[in-house]
Structure 1
Amino acid sequence: MTLTSAYQSKLRTPEDAVRLIEPGDDILVPLSAGEPPALLDALPTHSGLQGNRLFQMLSMRPALEIEPERLRLISMFLGAGDRPGFRAGRVDLLPNHFSDLPDLLRGMTRNRVLMATVSPMDADGCFSIGTNCDYIGTLIADAKLILLEVNEYMPRTRGKNVLHISQVAALVENHVELPLLQEPEITEHDAEIGRLIAGLIEDGDTVQIGFGAIPNAVMNFLQGHKDLGVFTEMLPDKAVDLYEAGVITGRRKKIYPGQMTTTFALGSRKLYNFLHDNQDVLFLPVSWTNDVRVLAQIDNLVSINSTVEVDFLGQCNSETVGGSYYSSTGGQADFARGARLSPNGRGIICLHSTAKNGTISKIVPALHPGSVVTTSKNDVDMIVTEYGVARLKGKAIRERTRALIAIAHPKFREELEVQARKMGYLI
């Protein structure tokens, strides 16, 4: 059988493809842009679902409307799509470190069905998961069933995110634009934080950074840097600009020199076009990109992440707002520990000094009740607000308290000092 005939023999409608899923099977999809929309939309039409589970991460689509006894919805990082479902009790949340997900999922799931959006088949009969490798890449080999959604808008990328037609049970075609992220507006405070963080990055450093107003501001201030490397979990749009400007070269990286390494990408059409057949970008499993043991081998690793609030101990809550769940851990703790172990590594956590139009301080004596600790006091290195840099690594509690109050908004500093004295953190 030729590759073309094999392809044609496996073409199905989305409804017919999902009927291959049996009761009790666990269904897993890549995060964000790798989700297969046509296959997901077809799941509720499958009358044979019973006791199945669907695992998603950072989903950008609304949670499926389906009876939980037929299909239980489990998120591994709440996104804009499934956040309302979590609050309504229709979606559950699985705590995890991003790096642990492949092993965690392998241990807790059974009869794994993988569904993913892929690029069109190449001359060798292979499909690329394109914007993703994440946890899916390591679960391909022992999957019970693989259902693919072929989309010509999905870039063909390099790395360990490739499947062969012989591994696939069914294919559907659905040529629709991938989820796109709009470039966020950068405020004056974002720009100041970006300037401060860029000043902590040296020529030749290897950087982990994601998407958002502050990360974008940081990268705007890196235009004058030289020979930066990228070793990240998410590849954002601004990395394209720095690559094209000759700032990102990866020449000094010891691991995969000259290549940007990532486990997923999410952004604009410009980013997806840049990724297509680009040998300078490598997609690898998150169990490797976020492995602390690997990160510890990278000289001059700079990790940049954001948080919701920081207490006097340096504990960072990056997952809940007002005690209610908003996202999850992701890879923040992975990279905080990795940067701490990296020779000359720097772990940077950033946030605005206030919230709610300046009425609430985000530097707090203690985390809000119900908040979780994402980055621990033992792993935290530097905290940056628009008022400066607090270097916490190697600092005692009273030193940490003083440093954090110094970068709080000025109108809250006096009250923070009062609270610190009541707690015995200042005398």
Structure 2
Amino acid sequence: MNITKIFEQKRIASALQTVNLIQPQTDIIVPIAVGEPPGLLDALPKADHLKGNRLFQMLSLRPVLQTNKDKLNIVSMFLNKDERRAFYEHQIDLLPNHFSDLPYILNEITSNRVLMVAVSPMDENGYFSLGTNCDYISFFMDKSVMIIVEVNEYMPRTYGKNQIHISQVDAIFENHQPLPETPSIPVREEDKIIGNSIAELIKNGDTLQIGFGAIPNAIMNDLKSYQDLTIFTEMIPDQVVDLFESSAISNRNNPLAPGKMTATFAYGTKRLYDFMHENKNVFMLPVDESNNVRYIASIDRIVTINATVEVDFLGQCNSETIGGRYYSSTGGQGDFGIGARMAKEGRGVICLHSTAKNGEISKIVPTLPNGAVVTTSKNDVDYVVTEYGVAKLRGKTIRERTKNLIEIAHPKFREELTYEAKKMGFLI
């Protein structure tokens, strides 16, 4: 097989010519976040022949495509900042999901699938890598009518179950541009306090699921002196590089890839992407493995760390809506919360600031407001952490939970929260 000749046969000069291969009435699936193919997506609104097509995106890092819904109906699986507005203006729709379930949900609701993915350049054996991604795309490699790749020399070549052979590819478009990077997020004093409290719940030899944001960054700053940590997560953030460089990570306890860090996607800066490139300590997994509750539950001493918007006295966590309006989606919070609850010596941590809107609103609330969703149920919550302390909820009664949560609320709201708790019959 002359892979160079096959590459040239399948290579198409322009993005528009490439997407013109997509037939009407087909479903188009793209990877989460960094794995999206920007050139191909930009060309979709210009493809006049499309009709009745659907585009499935998740945590897109791009503006919403401007196109007629009869031509291309966009379905988000985790809203970005532009999609929040577009959802309420009826330009797009939102598909509820646990991240781990997406391969099965998409398999059930889509047909005549077309995959459009960003990939690293082909290697000498004819393989492209999904690079920063594996997610739900790998599940559909042999379940799609067409695979279109956008080759980008900036995409790192990574290892794992995210390889595509040129024999599987129907069309190739080359478009070399720097990858999207996470914005700089300042770490506030509250973040440092929360991070320190969570770090104290972590022990040498633990396995961690940790994500992106100011609080995760603060936590990882406090873990550099730890030893023998394992990373079994859904998303790889930038700060993980610091933990590798400090020798805090051994990945010895990873059940799916001993000695390796596993994840289903990555989102960071060029520093992270360079670190991942041809790094055999990184192994990318499909989301139905990285977020599989059964696998997570089998990991002794796993610690999962996730953020939420607000928590009520029962321990119910709303991580998706603000003021009754959709802000994001479930992601993997449910997967890891349930898995940690089932694991031997597992610890599930939910973190949040005690207030919002410059201290005007308490994020510890008596009941979740109208329109709020329950992302993590009261029975799956273990620890809740704010800058005012740690509330242990697992194994606690309603009255104990209420008391513990009020103790980590902002002091100026504690009297009011206590009054409401008494009115509800939760406190005497």
Structure 1 counterpart of 2:204: 203
C-alpha distance in 1, partners of 2:287/2:81? Answer: 22
Contact 1:58 1:80 in 2 (8 A): no
Note if 1:323 corresponds to 2:357. Answer: no
Structure 2 counterpart of 1:173: 174
Deviation track 1:11-62 (CA, whole Å, cap 9, x = no partner) reads: 1111111111111100000011000010001111111111110000000101
Structure 2 counterpart of 1:282: 283
Structure 2 counterpart of 1:57: 58
Return the offset for 1:84.
2.6
- The number of residues matched between the two structures is 427
Structure 1 counterpart of 2:315: 314
Moved more, 183-192 or 80-89: 80-89
SS in structure 2 at match of 1:343: coil
**Please, what TM-score do these two structures have when normalized by structure 2?**
0.99
Structure 1 counterpart of 2:78: 77
SS in structure 1 at match of 2:23: coil
Contact 2:154 2:178 in 1 (8 A): yes
After superposition, the CA RMSD in angstroms is 0.8
Deviation track 1:167-192 (CA, whole Å, cap 9, x = no partner) reads: 11111110001110023100000000
Contact 1:296 1:338 in 2 (8 A): yes
Structure 2 counterpart of 1:222: 223
Alignment of 1:209-358 (within 5 A): 209-358=210-359
Structure 1 counterpart of 2:133: 132
SS in structure 2 at match of 1:29: strand
Matched to 1:207, the amino acid is L
SS in structure 2 at match of 1:22: coil
Contact 1:309 1:362 in 2 (8 A): yes
C-alpha distance in 1, partners of 2:351/2:67? Answer: 39
Matched to 1:366, the amino acid is T
Structure 1 counterpart of 2:6: 6
SS in structure 1 at match of 2:283: strand
Return the offset for 1:251.
2.2
Q: Where does the alignment leave 5 or more consecutive residues of structure 2 unmatched?
A: none
Note if 1:396 corresponds to 2:397. Answer: yes
Alignment of 1:359-378 (within 5 A): 359-378=360-379
SS in structure 2 at match of 1:302: strand
Structure 1 counterpart of 2:48: 47
Deviation track 1:365-384 (CA, whole Å, cap 9, x = no partner) reads: 01121000000001111000
Deviation track 1:56-88 (CA, whole Å, cap 9, x = no partner) reads: 000010111100011100000001342332232
C-alpha distance in 1, partners of 2:300/2:336? Answer: 13
SS in structure 1 at match of 2:31: coil
Contact 1:60 1:82 in 2 (8 A): no
Matched to 2:7, the amino acid is Y
Contact 1:151 1:174 in 2 (8 A): yes
C-alpha distance in 2, partners of 1:147/1:252? Answer: 37
**CA 1:241–1:134: 2 relative to 1, 3 Å:** same
Contact 1:387 1:407 in 2 (8 A): yes
Matched to 1:10, the amino acid is K
Deviation track 1:351-405 (CA, whole Å, cap 9, x = no partner) reads: 0000011111000001121000000001111000000000000111111000000
Contact 1:305 1:348 in 2 (8 A): yes
Matched to 2:402, the amino acid is T
Matched to 1:119, the amino acid is S
Q: Where does the alignment leave 5 or more consecutive residues of structure 1 unmatched?
A: none
C-alpha distance in 1, partners of 2:224/2:90? Answer: 45
Return the offset for 1:343.
0.6
Structure 1 segments, 4+ long, off by >3 Å, are 252-255
Return the offset for 1:255.
3.7
SS in structure 2 at match of 1:30: strand
Deviation track 1:196-240 (CA, whole Å, cap 9, x = no partner) reads: 000000000000000000000000011111110000000001111
SS in structure 2 at match of 1:183: coil
SS in structure 2 at match of 1:415: helix
C-alpha distance in 1, partners of 2:218/2:271? Answer: 18
Deviation track 1:279-323 (CA, whole Å, cap 9, x = no partner) reads: 101100000111111111101000000000000000000000111
Contact 1:389 1:407 in 2 (8 A): yes
C-alpha distance in 2, partners of 1:22/1:129? Answer: 24
Deviation track 1:227-282 (CA, whole Å, cap 9, x = no partner) reads: 10000000001111101110011124444221100000000000000000111011
Contact 2:337 2:381 in 1 (8 A): yes
Note if 1:87 corresponds to 2:88. Answer: yes
Structure 2 counterpart of 1:21: 22
Return the offset for 1:2.
1.3
Contact 2:162 2:284 in 1 (8 A): yes
Matched to 1:100, the amino acid is D
Matched to 1:139, the amino acid is F
SS in structure 1 at match of 2:262: strand
Matched to 2:34, the amino acid is A
Alignment of 1:120-159 (within 5 A): 120-159=121-160
C-alpha distance in 2, partners of 1:178/1:343? Answer: 39
**CA 1:264–1:325: 2 relative to 1, 3 Å:** same
**Please, what TM-score do these two structures have when normalized by structure 1?**
0.99
